[in-house]
Structure 1
Amino acid sequence: MRAGDTLPVELPDAVREAVLAPLVDHDFHPVRGDDLTRARFETLITVADAPAPPGTTHFDTPAGLAVRRWCAPVLGLDPHVPPAVYLARRAELGAAEVNRRLLRAARITAFLVDTGRDGPELLPAEEICRLDGAAAGEVAGVERAEQAVAISAVSGVSYISDLNHALADLVSRAVAFTATLPVVFDAARPSRGAVIAAANRRLAAPKEELTDPVLLRHLLWAAFDAARERGLPVRFHLPRYGPHRALAAFLGATQQFGVPVVLLGPLDGEALHLAATFPHVYVDVGSVPAHAASGAAAVGRLLELVPFHKQLFGSGGRGAAESCHLGALHWRRGLAGALAVRLAAGEWSVPDAARVALMVGSGNARRVYRL
């Protein structure tokens, strides 16, 4: 391995350059712009989003070890420094400088920022661009738009028209919609009468999380209709135990319109099969290597099951800039290992390996999101 190179294997120059080329991060969430306490930082580097049990630390996790190994040098420290040393350096540099260093080191040329939630401590997309020098686009969360409509609507009838207007306004400035699929749902478009009745019930408690199955279906279809007007993608966060039968039915019903649908993890075999089956379905692949024992094996499975033009890199970065940096690094390392195996076996040519790396890293996102 070349000195200073983060890739775990030797690759031909053309492939190496393609793997290390700037990425388009299609699944990025705002990072915090304030200085973080140790307790808050630890909750941001774990999916649990809760403190570690008494007497333990989230630094004793794969993510914690990765922060000390790969993020420490970006902040001017030796790899594997103790957590206290890392956090002291983080505090010394300040949040703005830490974010700038880590985001730039990720070598990302465009961030598609999921704006499903915000807060005074979270950096808006334009600030992320200023720190990193990258472009940015907004991915609008439809649940948030629905709640605003539910709060302001005066009747079930106005709820329908107000929601359509709100989604049309969002689609005029966003690059995509994103929604969370309910665990159980019917793929059919609900009737107007059923929506009005459900909306009238919804208006009694508009600040509550949307759980009504009729309104959830209506929201998905309304978002799809709005995105269809502009040819923008619709992204679905899949539940851990996915409703694949209903999802397959929904994808079958929407295939004729040609609107891209992007599935965001967790990705199981059935979800990958849907991407291979339906021409308008794509999958987010960036977070896969970080949660597997072998990044190369995880990426290799994706390359075997999903067409290369259906895969989109996303760091899944959120909260702490370290998550974005590690998402990009884990993806590159996993992809490098998977490509090296295929090149060594003579299964792929050097030009093909370089082309696939560029497609997944940036080309597919530019095409699907019309960047």
Structure 2
Amino acid sequence: MTSPPASVLPDWGPLVDHHCHGLVLTDLDRAGFEALMNEAVGPSPLGTTLFDSMLGLAIRRHCSPLLDLEPLAPAEAYLARRLELGAAEVNRRLMSAAGIDTLLVDTGLGEGVICGPDELAGIAGGTAREIVRLEQVAEQVLRAGTSDFAGDVVARLRSAQGAGAVGAKSIAAYRVGLGLPAAKPSAVELDRALAGASPLRLVSMPVSAWLAHTALELGLPLQFHVGYGDSDLDLLDCDPLRLTAFLRATQERGVPVLLLHSYPYHRNAGYLAQVFDHVFLDLGLSTHNTGALSRTLYAETLELAPFGKLLFSTDAYGLAELYLIGALLFRAGLGGVLDDLVAAGDMTAADGAYVGRLVAGDNARRAYALD
């Protein structure tokens, strides 16, 4: 495994992964593994394998040595060794090597398929806090039956806060796009939108907007999925610039809004983080999906994004490999950019180490008021 530049990295400290998910704890065959690699449901019958990608190369290069294989071992050998060791041992080895101390876990996806926050923290040897998915809470309230949707949602969110949740997440990008209104929908607008709404999958701009405004009113740092995702979203509607009216209207609250993943709109997200006090961003799953080319994303993001507004995350789901390569590529990508700036005389080594510490964990601790 390549090591990030030594001149900048030693003082970064443990990572805070501010957006991630649980792990699959059972053994996976090749089809099961490839189904979890990226946002495709599996390899195309008209293509080859998902290992034929920058992500596949990163897994083979960086994870193989931790399974006692040579770097870039063939995919067949890698998957066979993974089965030989067993999921528990693979998860332990890879998560231990990732160097992630704190995990902020989105619990709104994969129930019954992946482990929960406490078990994830135990495997990683760190601590975990919950991020509540807003649309899931709304759907739970509807399924339970309610005569006071707004009151019941607020009660559940406050209960989650009391139990230690440190933020909320909106998947408006998947449901209605990011053109949320500046004004919170009224009670009448909310009731009208809920009439006939499906409790299995809420698809309503007024509901998603009401949930997002409500989370900020409650003081919950609010994550938005932005940009790259699976085929269930329309990428054209996921440009974070569509949030401008919402961000302008909510800035005075001073509650962080965090833009996840950002690709291919990472420059747009960096601009928003610059001009709005409460906006933060990460490169999330963009990092591991672009593999060794992810360094370019960090350079382009830092063109405008303030150093105090960029956060580390993996958005790892299911596979410990995604945690490990997300952490390694983050350190190599950001570290490489900083190291180039130091070498060119555009920042000191102390400046580089300071920026590294901010992005690796300090920014997340500040944004989420972590202990």
Match of 1:189 in 2: 184
Return the offset for 1:37: 1.1
CA RMSD of aligned residues (A): 1.9
- Deviations for 1:322-371, whole angstroms, at most 9, x for unmatched residues? 01111111111111210121011100001100000011001111111122
Residue aligning to 1:313 = 312
Q: Is the 8 A contact 1:286 1:328 kept in 2?
A: no
Identity, % of aligned positions: 39
Gaps of 5+ in 1: none
CA offsets, 1:42-78, max 9 Å, x none?
Answer: 1111221223326722121111121111101011111
2:8 aligned with 1:18, yes or no? no
Shift of 1:122: 0.8
2:49 to 42, 53, 57: 57
Match of 2:302 in 1: 303
1:270 equivalent in alignment to 2:268:
yes
- Which residue is 1:251 aligned to? 247
Q: Provide Cα deviations, 1:122-144, integer angstroms capped at 9, x if missing partner.
A: 11111112112111111111111
Which one of the candidate residues 226, 237, 247 is aligned to 1:238? 226
Pairing of 1:56-205 with structure 2 (within 5 A): 56-155=48-147, 158-172=148-162, 173-181=164-172, 182-183=176-177, 184-202=179-197, 205=198
- Cα distance in 2 for residues equivalent to 1:279 and 1:244: 15
Q: Which amino acid aligns with 1:175?
A: V
Q: Give the match's secondary structure for 1:217.
A: helix
Retained in 2: the 8 A contact 1:29–1:316?
yes
Letter in 1 for 2:206: V
CA drift of 1:250 comes to 0.9
TM-score normalised according to structure 1 size:
0.90
Q: Paired residue for 1:282?
A: 280
**Structure 1 CA distance for aligned equivalents of residues 310 and 102 of structure 2:** 17
Q: Which amino acid aligns with 2:35?
A: T
Partner of 1:347 in structure 2?
A: 346
Seen in structure 2, the aligned counterparts of structure 1 residues 362 and 354 have a Cα distance that, compared at 3 Å, is same
Letter in 2 for 1:87: L
Amino acid in structure 2 at the alignment position of 1:277: V
Could you tell me which residue of structure 2 aligns to residue 29 of structure 1?
Answer: 21
Q: Identify if the C-alpha distance between structure 1 residues 289 and 121 changes in structure 2 by more than 3 Å, giving closer, same or farther.
A: closer
Distance in 1 (CA, whole Å) between partners of 2:23 and 2:182 is 34
Q: How many equivalent residue pairs?
A: 354
CA contact (8 A) 1:286 1:331 kept: no
Secondary structure of 2:10's partner?
helix
Separation in structure 1 between the aligned mates of residue 46 and residue 303 of structure 2, nearest angstrom: 43
The answer as to whether partners of 2:226 and 2:240 remain within 8 angstroms in 1 is no
Equivalent AA in structure 1 for residue 9 of structure 2: R
Q: Secondary structure at the match of 1:78?
A: coil
Say if 2:241 and 2:268, in contact at 8 Å, map to a contact too. no
**CA offsets 1:287-343 (integer angstroms, 9 cap, x no match):** 444444633332122222100000100012111110111111111111121012101
TM-score, with length taken from structure 2: 0.90
User: What is the CA–CA distance in structure 2 between the aligned matches of 1:237 and 1:133, rounded to whole Å?
Assistant: 27
**2:42 touches 2:50 (CA, 8 Å); kept in 1?**
no
Whole-angstrom distance in 2 between the partners of 1:279 and 1:265:
19
Q: Deviations over 1:76-134 (max 9, x none)?
A: 11112222211111111111111111111111111111111233331111111211211
Shift of 1:214: 1.8
Superposed CA deviations along residues 150-190 of structure 1, whole A, max 9, x for unmatched, are 112344xx112212212221222201101123314323211
Which residue pairs with 2:230 in the alignment? Answer: none
Hey, what's the Cα distance between the residues in 2 that align with 1:286 and 1:213? 25
SS, match of residue 35 in structure 1: coil
Partner SS state of residue 108, structure 2: coil
Q: Which residue of 2 aligns with 1:370?
A: 369
Q: CA separation of 1:215/1:277 partners in 2, compared to 1, >3 Å: closer, same or farther? A: same
Q: Is the 8 A contact 1:74 1:102 kept in 2?
A: yes
Larger deviation, residues 169-178 vs 98-107: 169-178
One-letter code of the match for 1:256?
E
Q: Deviations over 1:224-264 (max 9, x none)?
A: 222x2xxx311111243335555111111111111011111
